[in-house]
Amino acid sequence: LFVAAVFVYPLGFGIWMSVHRYFFTAPGATVPHPFVGFKNYATVISDPAVRASFVHVGEFLVINVPLTVVISLLLATALNNAIHWRGFLRVSYYVPYVTASVAMITVWMFMFSSGGIVDRILGPLAPNPAWLVNTTWAMPSIAFYVTWKQMGFFILLFLAALQNVPEELNEAAATDGASRWQSYRAVTIPAVRPATTLVVLLAIITGANLFTEPYLMTSGGGPNGATTTPVFLLYQKGIEQGTPDVASAIGVLLVIGVLLIAYASRKVTERE
């Protein structure tokens, strides 16, 4: 009942809205919502801003997902091997994940603003205009921020998987003459494959629903729409412009895209 109320009904209602002419009405008002077939989808697909938003979120995923998997696994391995300060380090990595996004984004914007600490460190290598107002670097900057903020959660997932790897396997590999890197590649990485699959799926789902970071960090999808995402356009068209039917069509296309990417990534990460 919970799943039906929270997930199945909203998804089904969104699909229904996407094939009807739907708009918000006053409470109690009875207004017909004629069936329009795939007209809303045609409107969405023909909109250059919508197509660009899917490209932008694809760019984000290409940067965010590999960074999340690689860095989280390496840091989790380091934490698993650490003896001193292990608890302190775990909490330190996890703090950004549970801290309010608005507070974290404020600090990040201060660091990456024009003349901020990052620009002062890089000197002439810093981009001009600054990171978050640069059409080339705005989305990569957001991807780096999201990777950093959510990394604590994924580190804990990998750390739990690493602690379940039998030490006897590494000892057997060492007895057979394997180096630490060979043992890590042949024993540890395959052993944490289920956790890797989970991390990839969660990173894809979270990244595809990117909204808060572009909305706050770039003043609503800027510069020049370089950081607009499908969820941002869904909010813009459904809430601000009052066309929830078009917004629902965007949402359905996003769900289909996420399912396809998640299925393909799962096949890649779970292959023998």
Q: Is the pLDDT of residue 261 over 70?
A: yes
Lowest-pLDDT choice from 139-143, 144-148, 166-170, 194-198: 166-170
3-state secondary structure 32-72: CCCECCCHHHHHHHCCHHHHHHHHHHHHHHHHHHHHHHHHH
Answer yes or no: are the C-beta atoms of 111 and 117 closer than 8 Å. Answer: yes
Percentage of the chain beyond pLDDT 90 is 47
Smallest CA-to-CA distance from 245 within 44, 10, 21 is with 21
Amino acid letter, 36: V
pLDDT at 272: 53
Per-residue pLDDT, 269: 78
Q: Is the pLDDT of residue 29 over 70?
A: no
Which tens digit of pLDDT belongs to each residue from 95-112?
888 888 888 898 898 888
pTM of the predicted protein model? 0.89
